[in-house]
Chain A
Amino acid sequence: DGGITQSPKYLFRKEGQNVTLSCEQNLNHDAMYWYRQDPGQGLRLIYYSQIVNDFQKGDIAEGYSVSREKKESFPLTVTSAQKNPTAFYLCASSPQGAITEAFFGQGTRLTVV
């Protein structure tokens, strides 16, 4: 089945640690996105990539990093510089940038302990 797979579903991190969230898609989509959602708030864009080996900062990129070495994969690293990382992280992809609809993975819920 085609889709977007995020792993892990739940992740616990100690303060000061970096963690990497996985996002893989087999939809052959060019564009991929990372969003963060906090309780009662809308989705905020962290990073996006329109094509392999290229990515752009979104609205809240500080404390995060990404790579896009393969079309299928867009991992997100939450670094220790991110002061409030506890949130629900959503990865999405779309075939033609933001012209067409986006499809989401099931999300990763990150908690700092």
Chain B
Amino acid sequence: RKEVEQDPGPFNVPEGATVAFNCTYSNSASQSFFWYRQDCRKEPKLLMSVYSSGNEDGRFTAQLNRASQYISLLIRDSKLSDSATYLCVVNMYVAYKYIFGTGTRLKVLA
């Protein structure tokens, strides 16, 4: 089983739609969780850290479910500019490294 798993997609959604991605992780000792956005042939950029209580940043909401070992990202009112690959990242700070999912590709259609 992979340490971090994501549905690769692509998720094709119309502008204005709400879309949600899940990411599962295998190690219950994981301590920190992040969502990154990566555009084609560019570096990943931090979208949100994910906190235990859940957090929201504008149209983006992230949730953590430790019991089921997954994190989620919800995007409301999708924009064309949201088209990108979304990477789930978890860490075990004991191991001092980040574990990256392979990413979920989102295409927002006009």
Interface extent on B, as a size class? 20 to 34
Q: With A42-B101, A58-B97 in contact, do A100 and B45 touch (Cβ < 8 Å)?
A: no
What residues of chain B lie closer than 8 Å to A75, measured between beta carbons?
Answer: none
Residues of B within 8 A of A102 (CB): 46, 89, 98
> DSSP majority for the B interface?
strand
Chain A 102-113: CB-based contact to B (< 8 A → 1; otherwise 0): 111111010000
Asked if B52 is at the interface of the complex by the 8 Å CB criterion, the answer is: no
Note all chain A residues with C-beta closer than 8 A to B93: 97-99
Q: Which of A43-51, A64-72, A79-87 interfaces with chain B?
A: A43-51
Task: Give the Cβ gap from B25 to chain A, nearest Cβ, in Å.
Answer: 13
What is the distance, in angstroms, from B109's C-beta to the closest C-beta of chain A?
21
Asked whether B54 is an interface residue with its Cβ less than 8 Å from the other chain, the reply is: no
Contact with A along B75-110 (1 / 0, CB 8 A): 000000000000101011101111011110000000
> Contacting B102 at CB < 8 Å: which of A41, A90, A97, A101?
A41
Residue of B nearest to A48 (CB): B97
The stretch among B13-21, B36-44, B55-63, B65-73 that forms the contact with chain A is B36-44
Within 8 Å of chain A (Cβ to Cβ): is B32?
yes
Contact (Cβ within 8 A) B49 A101: yes
Which of A48, A56, A58, A102 counts the most chain B CB atoms within 10 A?
A: A102
Q: Is the CB of B103 within 8 A of A99?
A: no
Q: Are B31 and A101 in contact (CB under 8 A)?
A: no
Nearest residue in B to A44 (C-beta to C-beta)?
Answer: B100
Whether the pair A98, B44 counts as a contact (CB closer than 8 A) is no
- Interchain CA distance A98-B94 in the complex, whole Å: 9
Closest to B47 in A: A101
Pull 30 A–B residue pairs with CB atoms less than 8 Å apart, ordered by A.
A33-B97, A35-B100, A41-B102, A42-B87, A42-B101, A42-B102, A43-B44, A45-B97, A45-B98, A48-B97, A58-B97, A90-B44, A97-B93, A98-B91, A98-B93, A98-B95, A99-B31, A99-B91, A99-B93, A100-B32, A101-B46, A101-B49, A102-B46, A102-B89, A103-B46, A104-B43, A105-B43, A106-B43, A107-B42, A109-B41
